[in-house]
Amino acid sequence: MKTNKRSRTKQYPLGIDSSKLPVGCYWDDRRKHWYTRFNDLGVRRNRIIGKETATMQDLWKAMEEPDLETSSFQWLFDKYKQSAKWASHGKDTRNSYNNTIRILNEMETKTIGTFISDTNRHNWTPVLMQNMIDKIAIKTPTTSHRAKENISAIFNWGIRRGHAITNPASIVELCKLNPKQRLPSKVLVAKLTEFAINGSKLKPHTKGSIPKAIWKSLELAFLNRLRGIEVRHLTDDHILSDGLMCERAKGSSTNVTLWDDRLQHVINKCVDDRDALWKKKGRAYPLRPEHRFLVVNNSGDCLTKSGWQSIWRSFLERAIKAEIMVEEDWFGLHDIKRRGTTDTEGTAEVKLEATGHKSRAMLPIYDKSIARVKTPN
């Protein structure tokens, strides 16, 4: 490989003879890293190949890497993002993939400091992958599981299209997750619901106001033993003459929660408040009932997962500040389903039918009630 003639005015790192640098290898004095340029579908882009401590040998090795612009994992991910498979992913799934790449871009190789995602994917081995996933797991075990799944999916997609030969993530061992099965007390749930109702009576976006979606979601999740996503997807189409139809996720069975005064009240409030909000904002009233969501945000739109997480986090932080709960009491809307299942009266079969679970093995995860037994004869 030829060497470049370099300007003598640029300040190169100590130990670097600019006259012996390979052609196409450049020093960024402002950002303090080495980079090269490549053509990406007609667009000239820069790729970092080393940090300030890189030696001349490191730089030559990086520049001699075959097909640098097309051999990296980043290139494969960019191709994946142009595919029909990527287009079929929802917003949350795309965010998960992008977060994985962000994490990889924060990890540097031991030799020249190149981002992991910019290294030759054909040189990735199960050992390299295991080390990467183990490092991620030290900080966030759940994220390490997502990262492994996402990287594996990208490699599998690449293999089917001739962009990869093997999947180094396929045999990676994951750390064991121990999800917390929180069960908020009845007293705490009652206090939080009252706190949310009082705050919802104030004008939105004013001091002390709380989105109406909070108390409605608490009630719906408890009364119907619903997950958060199932609450957010409730529409007028689920309102039946004898109760509320609950379409459940993760393969659980659909069922109907029969009307009582409490359930009827929250549904009526959902419909009345939403319709009034749409009228105030001059929004068109959807003709199809499945397009009319029951729980909406302050703009009248269906709540997204990220939108819910934002207002829920803010709500609990305010509850802690108001001394209604302490930080150790923190829980998610999914835990309200556990509270509702535990408080459902009846046998295990009755509770299974109420939650929609098909497997009895799922019941101990949600039913935390203590069995009452008789003394022996």
Same domain assignment for residues 34 and 126: no
Residue 83, domain member (yes or no): yes
Q: How confident is the model at residue 125 (pLDDT cuts 50, 70, 90)?
A: confident
**H-helix or E-strand containing 167?**
none
Residue 295 burial (10 A CB sphere; 0-12, 13-18, 19+): buried
Q: What is the pLDDT of residue 38?
A: 67
Q: Domain range spanning residue 166?
A: 67-178
- CA–CA separation, 236 and 214 (whole Å): 19
pLDDT tens-digit series, residues 45-64 = 677 777 888 888 888 887 77
Percent of the chain with pLDDT over 70: 91
Q: What is the pLDDT of residue 352?
A: 86
3-state secondary structure at position 268: helix
DSSP 342: H
Question: How many domains are there within the chain?
Answer: 3
CATH number at residue 170: 1.10.150.130
Residue 19: pLDDT above 50? Answer: yes
Residue 124: pLDDT above 70? Answer: yes
97: Cα separation from own chain's centroid: 9
Residue 167: pLDDT above 70? Answer: yes
Domain boundary among 18, 45, 64: 64
Residue 371, domain member (yes or no): no
AA letter at 214: I
Same domain assignment for residues 248 and 329: yes
Q: What is the pLDDT of residue 111?
A: 43
pTM over 0.85: no
pLDDT tens-digit series, residues 223-248 = 999 999 999 999 999 999 999 999 98
